[in-house]
Structure 1
């Protein structure tokens, strides 16, 4: 899978586009996605009521996919059933990165086990009691991003490095 296409976002009110601009490389984004411990997931109900919560999750850069688990009766689960559009972001507000896309509940057994293995490989060091059975009892949600957006909130970098990436289907 190729890298998403980088472009300069339209942000004239913040000085983006007024001078020199250099896209952040996708490797910058992939490193933050893989290395973040927690992520903010934003959903909206069928009526449009927003809901944001932190989650643990896993980014797989070779597939450009993100997955997290949630309770089958959670607000996130109900929102995603009614409205699969979702956004998620790393937990850093200085080197911020957010993605938008569509979520699906993973039902294929082999695919679920793949994500569970990735999840355990990432989090068992910080949560030794975490086990596959816990994850199997919950929903596993996979997000296919359509675009990503990054800004670096340091002087000189916001206007010169703000980057949007577009993913191909």
Structure 2
């Protein structure tokens, strides 16, 4: 799969200008997406009401997909049924990264099993009792990103390194 295309985000009010701008490499973003423990998932209801809560999740850079699980009666699930647009952000306020895209409940059993395997592989070292049954007892939601945005909240990087990536359609 092709690596996302880096672009300079339009942020002139924050001092971001072409002169001196250097994009972050996609590897910077992929590393953080893969290593994160908690991620903020933002959904919007059919009526336009936003909802944000942290989840555990898994990034697969080969597929360029993110997945998490949630209760079938949760606000996230109800919002995604009405509006599949979603944002996913790292739980980091210095090296900030968010994905924007669409989410879909995974219904294919083999695909659900694969995401559960990845999820357990990531989180079981932290929580020994975690197993695939926990994940599979809930919805498995797969996020397909359209773009990602990164901003580093350090003075030396803030105006010179913000990066937006576009994913292939």
SS at match of 1:160: coil
Runs of 4+ in 1 over 6 A off after TM superposition: none
Q: Tell me which residue corresponds to 2:80.
A: 80
* Structure 2, gaps ≥5 residues long: none
**TM-score scaled by length of structure 2:** 0.98
Query: In structure 2, what is the Cα distance between the partners aligned to 1:147 and 1:158?
Result: 19
Query: In structure 2, what is the Cα distance between the partners aligned to 1:2 and 1:104?
Result: 22
SS at match of 1:161: coil
**TM-score scaled by length of structure 1:** 0.98
Q: Following TM superposition, by how much is the alpha carbon of 1:156 offset from its aligned partner in structure 2, in angstroms?
A: 2.3
* Structure 1, gaps ≥5 residues long: none
**RMSD of aligned Cα (Å):** 0.7
SS at match of 1:23: coil
Q: How many residues align?
A: 169
Query: In structure 1, what is the Cα distance between the partners aligned to 2:39 and 2:98?
Result: 9
Q: Tell me which residue corresponds to 1:68.
A: 68
Query: In structure 1, what is the Cα distance between the partners aligned to 2:18 and 2:61?
Result: 32
Deviates more, 1:13-22 or 1:87-96: 13-22
Is 2:32 aligned against 1:28? no
